[in-house]
Amino acid sequence: RMKRYVFRRTQDGIHIIHLGKTWEKLMVAARVIVCIENPSDIIVASQRPYGSRAVLKFSQYTGANAMAGRWMPGTLTNQITTKYLEPRLLIVTDPRTDSQALKEASYANIPVIALCDTDSPLENVDIAIPSNNKGKESIALLYWLLAREVQYLRG
């Protein structure tokens, strides 16, 4: 499914992602984020240790809710819990590690933006941003670009 975002494959089997398509998807995601009037209706989730700081910084600059660390099951589906939230948008760092958040978002009909590597599952992901979501510099750069573009579009 991510084949259309791969520029080419190296001799040792490493996929090179097409940066132009990554940039296009980042711009689409930024427009979607700006369309939501109340920034606190956006949840940014990351269970990856490298994604935690990036998520916290992104939410600081855009006004979104950060959920770094463990995702509490039932956050989007169980109304009884104190952690229950009804966001308008969910942003995840990795669809594989944040699969619980993706599953709950699909039950609650919440659109999802995800940073996807070439091996990521795309089920329940609405906007996939093709990127390397394994390294901390890569994750940080993508969240920085997204935050910068959101702030630019908001004025």
Give pLDDT tens digits for 49-87: 888 999 999 999 999 999 998 999 999 999 998 989 999
> For the residues 14-39, what does the mean pLDDT come to?
93
Whole-number percent of the chain with pLDDT over 90: 78
2 pLDDT above the threshold of 90: no
- Quote the crossing angle between the two packed helices 19-35 and 136-154, to the nearest 10°: 50
The label of the residue with tokens 């009804």 reads 86
1 pLDDT above the threshold of 80: no
Find the helix or strand (DSSP H, E) in which 128 lies. Answer: strand 127-130
Find the range with the poorest average confidence among 2-6, 38-42, 93-97, 144-148: 2-6
Token reading at 43: 């949840």
Burial class (CB in 10 A: 0-12, 13-18, 19+), 131: buried
Paired residues of 43 in beta bridges? 65, 90
